Structure 1
Amino acid sequence: MRIEERQVDVDQLQPGMYVCRLDRSWEGTPFPLQGFLVRSEDDVRELARWSGVVFIDVELCEPAQRRRLLTLVPHDRIVTRIDREHDEQVFQQRFEREVRVARETFTTFTQQASVLLDALRSRDTLDQHGVDAAVTPVVAAVTRNQDAYFWLMALKRHSDYAYRHAMNCCALAIAFGRALSYPESGLLSLARGGLLMDIGMASVPANVVDRPGMLHASQAMEMRDHVEEGCRRFDAAGFSDPEARAMLACHHEFFDGSGYPRRLAGTAIPLSGRIAAIVDAFDAMSSDRPYRAAMTRDAALRELYRSRDRQFQGELVEEFVRCLGVYPVGTLVELSSGEIGIVVAQNNAHRLRPRLMLLTWADKSLRDPFMPINLLGNEVGTDGERLTIIRSVPHNSYGLDPTELFL
């Protein structure tokens, strides 16, 4: 199958159009290599800094813009893209390069975050400069290519939940903030807050943190005290960042007022606090704990959606789902053909049809080699029917451990 592109001057761009190519290399620009949906006039202005002409993938545009493109430019300016098979090869080469770029930041961040969190466990201090040195490159890496960074997150094996949760919440908060059009300074605040919002847990006994089932009243009070303890440590470190502090103070406040410690409700909860509550809950639900197995990532998103306008602001939940995709990067999925794949990147305009790496054949035997596939196209199974995702499956289903397969 072939895809129609239209060449468009940047000053003709409008929100809802999907930019698939620039008039220059993607490298050195802040835009994702796989293309992106223009969401605001700010996106248009940023593009104008880098390109005079862009190429629009008509199929990926929002419906109103797809219709508008039919009359926007004359037909002699229509160009035809390379076929999907070659496009997939190009994407894979670019994505592998992006993963290599992100890996250095990811590895360094893992080391630095572990040192910071170990220090908090052993003494009652927080190194402000160390925090910023750790999170600033992560802001740049997630902004450069969110999918590549989340791919590494999905494959990272870390036995300590506190470390993994802090690092995951940092990256998730950055990605969410970027989807909400936060400026770079705001993304840095979200990164700080995401990394540090559970620092007060260092003072909670391990037998309380990892206890299965309901906590006794005294244990529940110890657990709740981690919020105020985290804020105390944050303040003692000399941070002057209200947005990050709000994440520490409010990540357990619920939109309906049923949370803690202050039972704030609605917009009385600062925006960064409402963001933190969503990020914290999503990563907690999709992580293994001593007392329960992890939910699949899409199941965690559905749980957030069920709790919208109660625990979490409904509009923010919808934006979070849009940010991560219905099947987030790293999710194992079963296709209508019976094959198992893993999500490696999103198609921004069609979140139900991401890019996958097929790991097995229909009988669940392992492929060799694995096969990249873009569900955005009209790929069909052996029965001639268009391939669709029918469900997600937990990691280690059918003996598949993505960490072992890819790292």
Structure 2
Amino acid sequence: MGFAREFEGSTRMNGPDEDRYVGQRVRMIRARRGISQQVLADLAGLSRSAIAKYETGERPVDSRRTLLALAKALGVTLGDLTGQVEERFDPSVAGIHGSVLAIETALWAAGNITPTAPKRTLDQLASAAREIAALKLECNYAELGPKIAPVLTECYQHARDTRGADRDRAWDILAATAHTAAAVLKNFGYQSLAWTAAQEAEKAAHNGGGTAAHAAAAFIRSQIMLSRPDGLPAALESATSAGAALGGLAHTAGEMELCGMLQLQVGLVTAAMGNDPTPHFDEATEQTVRRTYAAPNTSLLSDPTFVKANVVLWRMSAAMERRDAEQVLTLAPQLRPTDLPSEGRRAQYFVEIGRAQAMRRNYRGSLHALLHAEHAAPQKVRNMTHVRELAGQMMRSARRDLTAGELGRLAQRVGVVSA
């Protein structure tokens, strides 16, 4: 019997206390609001039968557009639906969650903190900032988290206490570290603090100069707005206007990389809005070529993931935004995972394939892809809503003998069922 057939018409193995999925939270919040499935369907622009399937777990909520529509209709955040608050107790990423208060204090205090360790030199801080950026590319959030706040604080202090080139350099290191902090905080549901970090990165750019930091801040702001109900127009405007203003100023490799990432973000938002992102991805592809002839970096800020293979990956993600599984699977052979220069990107590649295979009801192919993704970047993948939704939906549909195998173990690791 084929894997897809094995998943059809079978019984659920998990009790209501063990199941964890978006539709369950939708049902709970809807009940607390005192509205019917039909009313929620009307508010979200969905059918009542779709709401019923989401709430029972028969269908996973694996579309950003659906998530945003449900969040808006219920008057909640995406984190309320995806369970990001619960993830903060996951020991595998405790390093980042346990560091949030220190990062917040560092950003708010802007260096006005009593030192508890010898002050590092700018060379040492630059090395620490590079290490933080490298850990982000490796998706090693547990080790990355505690390193951010001290670097921020010491950069603020250097910027306050020095002048001239040293002061500019301190602002540059601060901008790079604040950008990394913003990206990580955004990924783990701390949207407001991520916005603050992006603002601090841009403030550093104003003080020390730097096209790269302006582009990086606009990119993060656009990504944050992309996760907000009614935020798509603002997400598009942030990336589009910054790209138009900064594109002509980009001369170094890092500046071109970050301006190119803005083009990719414009394409993704355009797809999320239901429009054709192709021109933006074509422009990004051309930018990868121009980047090879760029001047060397003068700033710490850069994005080494901005390569041709990554543009193909973003095309895959945009296709999933439009729920075009066939295009995802057509694009996938156009790159090799090893061509993607970070574990996080390689994991995303396999996640998009897993989502597309699930849409085609090829559940064995979906599981195989999700396991590859987890192997590439376990801390990232085990905290992804799409992965939890797919694993949970397959667990709720699978036969009992299958849930004890790789699928069951994956479901435990991503937290959709109890160990």
After TM superposition, is the score higher than 0.5?
no
What TM-score, normalized to structure 2? 0.29
What TM-score, normalized to structure 1? 0.30
User: Which structure ranks higher in relative contact order (CA pairs < 8 Å, sequence separation ≥ 6)?
Assistant: 2
Structure with greater strand percent: 1
